[in-house]
Chain A
Amino acid sequence: MDWTLTTDAPGRIVLMQGNEAIVRGAVESGIHFAASYPGSPSSQILGMLGKIAKERNFYAQWATNEVAAFQACLGTSLAGARSICIVKQNGLLCIADALFCAAQHGIKGGVVVVTSDDPGSHSSTNEFDSRHMALSASVPMLEPTNMQEAKDMVPYAFEISEQTKQVVIIRLTTRVCHGRGSVSLGAIPQVQRKLDVVDEWDRMVCVSFRHQIMLDSLEQARDLFEESPYNHYSGPAHPKKLIVAGGTGCLYTKEALGLLGDPKDVGLLQLGTIWPIPERMLLDKMRTAEEVLTVEEVDPFLEDALMNLAGREQLNLKFYGRSEGTINRVGELDPDHVLPAVSTFTGIPQPPRQKVSDEPLLERDLNFCAGCPHRATFFVLKQAMRREKVPGVVVGDIGCYFMAGAEPGQYAYQINNCMGSGINVAEGLGQLSAYGMDQPVVTMCGDSTFFHTVLPGLCNASYHNSNMTLIVLDNSATAMTGFQPHPGTGLTAMGDEVKPMSIRAICEAMNCTVEEADPFEIQETTDLLTELMHRPGLKVLIMKQPCATLMAKSRKEKITVWVDQNKCLGDGCGCDRFCSRVWGCPGNSWDFKAGKATIDPVSCVGCGVCAKLCPQGAIIVEREEAKA
């Protein structure tokens, strides 16, 4: 849908994903520079910017990590460029130091950071609320309600950024990023703003005397937000009951009020300017109100801010929301949490619903994709560990292989902190071998994570000769987030081919012992890993096997895998239904009628590893050249 991103057709209404809307907003802002490290739910944004960058004459980069991305934006700001940095909530935490310093040194060309929070942790390990970063860094933050606002807020954020000389953050949540809505397009600037010559006396330097200047710029933003078109009020002029909602909470609240018959005595204030809060506008309604319900994603951020404000102004108000418990404290907002809250708050009963069974239904656990090389790697790791008298310690990391901590990876690891942490956690454990801990220590990282944060840790672990093994799961992609390129792939966001960096050469330059293996060669690789675990010092084992999803897309031949049920002995085999029960690939299923193994033709990608593992050789792999 590239044309919706770059066609200059103001007023035209198109269906856009929230992530697309941000891209379109960046194009309508005439950006010069964009950088990001992938993170769900906002991974698609830079991918799309990269595709249209040449056409729109700006630069777009998949950076090695978020800090590199954000600080590059700061550099371009000095030359007057408009830049946008896209991160997820964990990525925003990564850039904390840089952000706090930037807030104090200020900016020249507009700098907008788009951060995507993941309430309910759909594709994250936590529900961190980015709004705390705006508060503690003292920078303005906006949050859109729908796809239209997601687009419109980008140029607005650049205006605020340049007026207040401050970084502005736009907070998205998963429902906005991955949702779609009708968006009316705006105009695209015909002429891109010229860059400045950097003057000898230009300054963007973080020094302590700028603390007050930073706070003054925040107050300037507050004044601008008092008149912002992104804050709306509907309801009586002097409501007794006031609902303040931010982000997706606004639409859920509107819908709930509709289902309750649109009560006339309730006021709804939709807040798009999240930080600093427009105090005059809020107080205008809060002074006459008796009760306030706050509807917002993740933490009771606005609720706390309103309580602070009420305390300072000595208002006698009762507050309801996520801290008080009218709304679920943990997890995502949705209409089914907001409706009961609004019903309780207004005293209007919910409409009746048909009765349904409360008998629990089977849940579907996450699994590695069919044919995923990680399944083989963790099978190898578990086998190697089981050979030990005292099994070793496995330290996890963040990527698709996060799932290895559950059934798909046979509950592989005992500790897992954040992205890129495995090498450091394992380094510490590895030093204990001189102090009585006689267990091998193994950790892992993906190829993209290797470049993102593992490099300094590896440097540290190797220099201090920690006794440990690092497995690099080299599947040639940032698979978790949708196959973005990284420095090992030889590609850039803008589609240029460049010289790839060799993970092996980097490890060797850091004086590590390096071996490579194919995880699909189960036996051979298990032997190699066992041997490595017993060698002293720091070892790196690079598992080379491309991501199954990428492989299936690029494969030329047609592969059919099937079970010869005459050969499969079923439960009489003694393998304990190895393929479907132990191996656990979605392609391996069980024919309950025949009592024999079977292949699910819908899921199977034809990697053929299960055929090598079946003790009866009952799984048959047939290859034929695909018809064009």
Chain B
Amino acid sequence: MKQLAYDPLNIVICGIGGQGNVLAAELAASAMNDLEYRVAEGETYGAAQRGGSVMSHVRVSADTDLGVLIPAGEAHFIIGFEPLETLRIARRYANPGTRIIYDPRPVYPQSVLRGRTVYPDLEDLKAEIDSLCKEAIQVPAADIALECGDSRAANIALIGAFSCLEGAPLDTKALEEVVAQRFKGAVLALNQKVFALGCKAAKEAVR
């Protein structure tokens, strides 16, 4: 078992219902369990699978059983599927050492589309996210997935990107293995392509 950079190590994955963030959390959690860490994972979705905010917490320790929710300010990594949701989570869970990876593509809340409210300026969102953490990397996960032929694979692009982050508890190889276990045939091939492109995008963004 590799020494963890932090114990417990805390990851928040956030987005909107239906984006596949729950599956992304499950993939990361299974991979850590297979490496014989103690893992706790909590999902906040409820009726939010119908358009609401969704977040998953993944917590890893060498030997301690943890509660499934991360205390405020204690996230080491945040994986965001949408910029507004990423900011929401960064405000609550980030600290000056947190690393964030997120898709900058906005998904408008119904109140914006119905004309009652205005979506925040994307540059303002980026600036505030940047100010709350050590490093925030943008990866166009949904675009990558759409270009590869299936928007549902955006979660795999982000998981791929996450595996390339400095200090990530799971390397590319471990996560690739979980993806290979979970999917088959054409879906696996698509996910492998998306995973690699996510990883590449993260590396380029860091440079």
Contacts and interface: CB of A to CB of B under 8 A. Distances in A.
B70 A335 contact: yes
Interface stretch (B109-117, B162-170, B194-202): B109-117
A40 B46 contact: yes
Contacts of A589: 108, 113
B71 A366 contact: no
A403 B70 CA distance: 30
Nearest to B67: A251
Contact of B65 (A122, A182, A603): A182
Interface size class of A (residues with CB under 8 A): 35 or more
A365 interface: yes
A336 interface: yes
Contacts of B84: 361-362
B110 A577 contact: no
B42 A175 contact: yes
A107 interface: no
Interface string B30-71: 100100111111111111101111000000000001111111
Interface string A175-215: 10011111000000000000000000000000000000000
Contact of B72 (A118, A353, A408, A577): A353
A600 B43 CA distance: 25
Contacts of A336: 71-72, 92
A341 to B, nearest CB: 13
A328 to B, nearest CB: 14
A361 B83 CA distance: 12
A237 interface: no
A14 interface: yes
A15 B30 contact: yes
B88 interface: yes
B51 A366 contact: yes
B73 A122 contact: no
A581 B113 CA distance: 6
B155 to A, nearest CB: 12
A362 B42 contact: no
B183 interface: no
B73 A353 contact: yes
Contact of A356 (B26, B66, B132): B132
A255 B66 contact: yes
A584 B44 CA distance: 24
A602 B117 contact: no
Interface in A312-357: 334-336, 339, 353-354, 356-357
Contacts of A354: 73, 94-96, 132
A180 B26 contact: yes
Interface string A8-30: 00000111000000000000000
Contacts of B96: 354
B107 interface: yes
Nearest to A254: B67
A87 B46 CA distance: 16
A588 B113 contact: yes
A590 B73 contact: no
A365 B108 contact: no
Nearest to B59: A181
B71 A335 contact: yes
Given A255-B67, A361-B84, A181 B40 contact: yes
A353 B52 contact: no
A138 B42 CA distance: 33
Contacts of B113: 577, 580-581, 584, 588-590
B21 to A, nearest CB: 13
Nearest to B113: A580
Interface in B117-149: 117, 119-120, 128, 132, 142, 146
B87 interface: yes
Given A251-B65, A584-B110, A588-B113, A366 B52 contact: yes
Nearest to B16: A364
A148 B70 CA distance: 19
Contact of A580 (B33, B114, B132): B114
28 contacts: A15-B33, A122-B44, A146-B40, A178-B43, A180-B39, A180-B68, A181-B40, A182-B33, A255-B66, A255-B71, A335-B72, A353-B73, A354-B73, A361-B87, A362-B84, A362-B112, A362-B117, A364-B51, A365-B52, A365-B109, A368-B50, A400-B50, A407-B110, A408-B110, A581-B113, A581-B114, A589-B108, A602-B107
Given A353-B95, A362-B111, 17 more contacts: A178-B42, A180-B26, A180-B39, A180-B41, A181-B65, A252-B69, A335-B67, A335-B72, A354-B94, A356-B92, A363-B111, A364-B48, A364-B53, A365-B51, A365-B110, A369-B51, A586-B110
